[in-house]
Amino acid sequence: MEMITLKINDREYSVPKDSTVLEAARYAGIDIPTLCYLKDINEIGACRICLVEVKGARGLATACVCPATEGMEIYTNTPKVIAARKMNLELLLSAHDKKCLSCIRSTTCELQKLCLDYGVDESYFGGKKELYEVEDDGTSIVRDNNKCILCRRCVGACSNVQGIGAISAVNRGFDTVIGSSFGKKLTETTCINCGQCIVACPTGALHEKDETQKVMDALADPTKHVAIFFAPSIRATLGECFGYEPGTDVEGKMVAAAKAMSFDGVYDMNLTADLTIMEEAHEFIDRLQNGGKLPMITSCSPGWIKFCEHYFPEMTENLSTCKSPQQMLGAMYKTYYPQKMGIDPKDIVTVSCIPCTAKKYEVTRDGQSAAGVPDVDIAITTREYARLVEKAGLNFKILPDAKFDDPFAIGSGAGIIFGATGGVMEAALRTAAEVVTGKSLDSLEFTEVRGTDGIKRATYKLGDLELKVAVVSGTKNAKKLLKAVQAGEEQVHFIEVMACPGGCVNGGGQPTQPAAVRNNTDLRAVRASVLYNADKAYSIRKSHENSAVQKLYDEFLGKPGSHKAHEILHTTYVKRGQ
């Protein structure tokens, strides 16, 4: 690595060539505050919080876009710099709705923290202040432009990461606002509800539609049987809401908290991740052997499904017809479980705890009511579950670990890795390879499909078949790959797509982290490591060897791909177009 030498606050440092001043300072162990900057997502110098003095330069420089050069002398905390940052914070507050006590981001708001750091508690500036209607009529995302600071991080996430562009800066000057084309609401655009805008937002301008009160009301109703199921990735991220380091597995305390809140059943969605693999692998093998539509594409990610329906409607026929693990568990809990326990499905309230804001949208889709009532009644994000725990007055860190309930307690290592990009593909390969070849695998690690790269490709030999697969995360990458498939430039049999970069561990419903963490820690890899470590520790690591799944087929479903399985575990799609 080629280095340059410069001075920061009169001390000499060697830093990588081609760094910005911000990157050079962080390399030297000095944090310069930012608001609008997100590495590789939003690098526009808009907020003016990262201002620094550069010797010999006229005026102050924005560290996030100013190149570091040989011999440069930089000052990060002079009275002039501090006064400028404070003034810019006051300017932001002059147009900001300062209802911090009731804001959903209170104590995790980056603007709030900076104001505390710089002693800003009220705006010095008066004048005109726009009032905007809060947009909360969708199923997943709430937009409150009264709390927007025009940092454009959400715009960068939507356009640069996801390749959608449902939102952008509209109008000019004092009239600038983040909105959609022609004044449309998000529900009227091609927004896929992925929530990447939410985890990018530094304030409370964007957040998920909070449904914690619905859960509390259900728990308080003695006529209802209320069950909660947790997606595999939640155990890897929930701890961040309670002060744990990213990459901490808190499964035991997560389960204990739900039991302390008196849920009637606490279950692992890992089981229906395995059930998804059984159905999906059967479907894939059937398409391979009987001339079905290829490449087959996974259907676990509702953000991806909506993206496909809007941008690639002609490829909805390539989608697996399997419901997601969330919807499968809801469907089984309202068909198989009532039959076993003698409960009316109408008296059951199913709650899913998921990493994804698009899952809130998914529960409202057609074809998601196997028992004539919604498979899942309420979908809450990781953040919402943390709020439930806090509202219940539970001390999360001292809760004794607890285990999931039967009959859905057993999962496999294959199911748990669903939360990481490549996990669905690896789980499917573990089963498909053994079904096709009739032989046990020597190694269960398909490392070629692991990792956080946006597009991964691999070829595997299954008997006489040379199986070509691809794994994609982030819809911008999905668009790139699918266009190549349509053009005949890519030849693949099976594609896994996750709407969120890195998969569910980086979903739009996961704990928010400040830019200082997001820019310097690969949260996707750190969180995914929890799932891969858990997979290694499982005694069962293949979906088809899960005895609980086998029992469901023996007692209720018949066999993978059966008529009954299709009625309960499969769904349909809509060709929406743009």
Q: What is the DSSP string of 313-367?
A: GGGGGGB--BPPHHHHHHHHHTTHHHHHHT--GGGEEEEEEES-THHHHHTTSTT
CB 522 within 8 A of CB 544: no
Residue 54 has pLDDT above 90, yes or no: yes
What pLDDT was estimated at residue 494? Answer: 97
pLDDT band at residue 442 under the 50/70/90 scheme: confident
User: Is it the case that residue 158 has pLDDT exceeding 80?
Assistant: yes
Mean of pLDDT values over 484-508: 97
pLDDT one-digit tens code per residue, 381-431 = 999 999 999 999 999 999 999 999 986 767 788 899 999 999 999 999 999
Q: What are phi and psi of 361, to 5 degrees?
A: -70, -40
- Over residues 9-33, mean pLDDT: 96
Q: Is-contact 104 210, C-beta < 8 A?
A: yes
Mean pLDDT lowest among 116-125, 199-208, 381-390, 544-553: 116-125
Q: Does residue 437 have a pLDDT over 70?
A: yes
Write out pLDDT tens, residues 567-578. 999 999 999 977
Quickly state the pLDDT bin for 130 (edges 50, 70, 90). confident
Residue 145 pLDDT > 90: yes
Residue-wise over 100-113: b if at least 16 C-beta within 10 A, else e?
beebbbeebbbbbe
- State the average pLDDT over residues 267-292: 93
* CA–CA separation, 109 and 202 (whole Å): 6
Strands (E), 146-208: 168-170, 177-179, 206-208
Three-state DSSP state, 390: helix
Q: What is the pTM of this model?
A: 0.95
- Provide φ and ψ at 10, rounded to 5°: 70, 10
| Strand positions, DSSP E, 216-301 | 225-230, 265-268, 296-297
Q: Where are the alpha helices (DSSP H) in 139-250?
A: 153-156, 196-200, 212-220, 234-237
For 46, phi then psi, to 5°, come to -85, -35
**Residue 124 — pLDDT band, cuts 50, 70, 90?**
confident
pLDDT grade for 436, boundaries at 50, 70 and 90: confident
Say whether pLDDT at 122 is over 80.
Answer: no
Q: What value does the CA radius of gyration of the chain take, rounded to a whole number of Å?
A: 25
Per residue in 372-388, pLDDT (tens digit) is 999 999 999 999 999 99
Q: What is the pLDDT of residue 462?
A: 82
DSSP state of 67: B
Whether the per-residue pLDDT at 17 is higher than 80: the answer is yes
Residue 321's contacts (CB-CB under 8 Å, 6 or more residues apart) are 283, 299, 566, 570, 571, 572
Distance in angstroms (rounded) separating the CA atoms of residues 495 and 424: 10
Give the domains, in start order, of the chain with CATH numbers. 3-77 (3.10.20.740), 126-207 (3.30.70.20), 213-569 (3.40.950.10)
What pLDDT does residue 409 have?
A: 65
552 is written with which tokens? 């469901």
Residue percentage of the chain with pLDDT more than 70? 99
Q: How far is CA 342 from CA 262, 405, 483, in A?
A: 20, 18, 50
Q: Are 95 and 30 in contact (CB under 8 A)?
A: no
Q: How much is the average pLDDT of 499-522?
A: 96
CA dist 486 and 489 (Å) reads 8
Q: CA 195, CA 356: separation in Å to the nearest integer?
A: 7
Give the Cα-Cα-Cα angle 59, 63, 64 (nearest 5 degrees): 135
pLDDT reading at 188 higher than 90 = yes
Contacts of residue 157, Cβ cutoff 8 Å, sequence gap at least 6: 38, 41, 42, 196, 197, 199, 200
Comparing 114-128, 230-244, 283-297, the range with the smallest average pLDDT is 114-128
- Segment 151-174 shows an average pLDDT of 95
φ/ψ (deg, to 5) at 407: -90, 5
- pLDDT grade for 464, boundaries at 50, 70 and 90: confident
For residue 126, the model assigns a pLDDT of 78
Give, to the nearest 10 degrees, the angle between helix 475-486 and helix 302-311. Answer: 50
